[in-house]
Structure 1
Amino acid sequence: MAKSSTHGVRYIGLATIDDSGALLKGQSGLSDNGIYIIDGKGEGTITANITGLEQAGTPVYANNQVKLIQHGKQQPQVALTVLNMNNDVLNKIKGYVSDGKGGYVLSSGDKPNVALLLCSEDVDGTLIYEGFSHGEVTETGRNHGTDNNNLTRADATLTFQALEPLKADIFMDDKGVQQPYKVWADDEPGFDLNLMYKEVFGGFSDVQSLRIPKKFKTTTVTQTSASPTSVTAQ
């Protein structure tokens, strides 16, 4: 059974979806199959800090005592620091548009709908997945500093703000209410990598085409090559 303590970031996957919640692919999306794994030579995720999973309760008094505690809705955010992310993908998820001459500006239209999946692991190697099927990405600033005898890095710092799912039948709680955040452990009975990707990424159904970093331990896929690996459904 999965443990509560996790370590590291295995990878983060991203996709853009349309206003119906369907995955965008090709020129409209982030890759030919629609999914972009932040991984590659010199590329990856440095930090991914999730906040807003619950709101602090508000005590409600009656008869001179606290009778109940009210809780607000989830408002998750993910603060990301990424290393050498593909710039075209970065511009797409932020909503920057090309002028056709090498320049990009932030569109005054609606922000792109972005889905995000984060993979980490517990101390026993069980993979933990945290998913958001709909949200928006912002980059509020950039910090630059002079180089000296060392390089002064300016890695991209992004904020992903989760929204309610666009599809009507996903991320449901036991009361039939949709939530913006869902967590999986790959040792749970019934876990299915393919179904998870389908739910998070707007119906995505081509897990075999993904390039997943390092060895991959799940109940539904097997490692087929050295890092980064292709994954195949059993």
Structure 2
Amino acid sequence: MAKAGTSSFGIDYVIFGITDDEGNLITSDSGVSSTGIVLVDGDGQGATTANVTNIEAAGTEQYANNQVKRIAHGLSRPQVALTMLDLDLELSNKMLGYDMDKTGGAVLRNGSKPNVAMLIASHDFNNNYHYLGFANGEMIEAAMNHGTNNVNETDANATFTYQALAPIPDGIFADANGSSQPMKIWNSGLTGFDSAAMLKEVFGGYTGTDIVKSHVTSNATVTPSAKPSSSVGA
């Protein structure tokens, strides 16, 4: 197995789930599927961008004796700018918190948002899978922009902002001091990587089919343009 690297390329997929106020995965009609999670990779569907910001900020210098003696660090507050290609509208409505009626209409719920869990998968240049996990957060769609067709088709793909929150159950995404953090990273090239354990931690106790391992098996290897491929670690 090749060593894990920090550089990555592409977006392999994004997985979503919705949890309840206790942090447990919802598998009823209020959730995203009967299993509680969904890997967005249908016909004409997928993630175009997933840009993560605010992972951490530069510390605030504190002075004494005419020198910098201490640096104070604020909390991590990651946000993800997502662009999705033809995301299923019912799935989108559920994650954004729209109330749907029997006429096919939907109204954005006032005052509360669903607890959305998310896992983003890409590759490093040693052909390991690299994952960014968020066990709890809220999604907004701030705008819907449309333009007229002319000699070219004008497409309008959905853009979302995901604001990560601290995991709800204690012990999820915990650092060495026992404090839960809003984001966790994995790489299939690191010793002890366990995709089933990752899914369970990100998605509120999920114990269903390991769709991460299934995706690796069905897609074999992904070849970066800058390097020859090697076998994928799963």
Q: TM > 0.5 between the two?
A: yes
Q: How far apart, in 1, do the equivalents of 2:111 and 2:91 lie? A: 18
The answer to whether the 8 Å contact 2:121/2:132 transfers is yes
Cα-Cα RMSD = 1.7
Kindly tell me: are residues 212 and 174 of structure 1, through their superposed partners in 2, closer, same or farther at Cα, counting changes over 3 Å? closer
Amino acid of the residue matched to residue 88 of structure 1?
E
Q: State the shift of 1:38 in Å.
A: 1.3
Alignment of 1:74-153 (within 5 A): 74-153=76-155
Of 1, 5, 8, the match for 2:7: 5
Q: How many residues align?
A: 219
The answer to whether the 8 Å contact 1:197/1:207 transfers is no
Q: How far apart, in 1, do the equivalents of 2:219 and 2:171 lie? A: 35
Q: How far apart, in 1, do the equivalents of 2:212 and 2:58 lie? A: 39
Alignment of 1:180-219 (within 5 A): 180-208=182-210, 210=211, 216=216
Kindly tell me: are residues 158 and 33 of structure 1, through their superposed partners in 2, closer, same or farther at Cα, counting changes over 3 Å? same
Q: How far apart, in 2, do the equivalents of 1:115 and 1:109 lie? A: 19
Q: State the shift of 1:162 in Å.
A: 0.4
SS across alignment from 1:194: helix
SS across alignment from 1:207: coil
Amino acid of the residue matched to residue 37 of structure 1?
L
Aligned to 1:171: 173
After superposition, the C-alpha distances for 1:176-226 in whole angstroms (9 at most, x for unaligned) are 111010000111111100000000000001124x3889x51xxxxxx2589
Kindly tell me: are residues 225 and 80 of structure 1, through their superposed partners in 2, closer, same or farther at Cα, counting changes over 3 Å? closer
Q: How far apart, in 2, do the equivalents of 1:68 and 1:224 lie? A: 51
SS across alignment from 1:153: coil
Of 36, 39, 43, the match for 2:38: 36
Q: Which has the higher strand share?
A: 1
SS across alignment from 1:92: helix
Q: Where does the alignment leave 5 or more consecutive residues of structure 2 unmatched?
A: 221-233
Amino acid of the residue matched to residue 8 of structure 1?
G
The answer to whether the 8 Å contact 1:15/1:116 transfers is yes
The answer to whether the 8 Å contact 2:171/2:179 transfers is no
After superposition, the C-alpha distances for 1:123-181 in whole angstroms (9 at most, x for unaligned) are 12100011000000000001111101221111000000000000112101011111010
Q: How far apart, in 1, do the equivalents of 2:159 and 2:207 lie? A: 30
The answer to whether the 8 Å contact 1:128/1:183 transfers is yes
The answer to whether the 8 Å contact 2:50/2:81 transfers is yes
Q: Where does the alignment leave 5 or more consecutive residues of structure 1 unmatched?
A: 217-222, 227-233
Q: Flag as ranges the 4+ runs of structure 1 deviating above 4 A.
A: none
Structure with the bigger RCO (C-alpha within 8 Å, sep 6+) is 2
Is 1:55 the equivalent of 2:62?
Answer: no
Alignment of 1:215-226 (within 5 A): 216=216, 223=217
Aligned to 2:230: none
SS across alignment from 1:78: strand
Q: How far apart, in 2, do the equivalents of 1:125 and 1:164 lie? A: 30
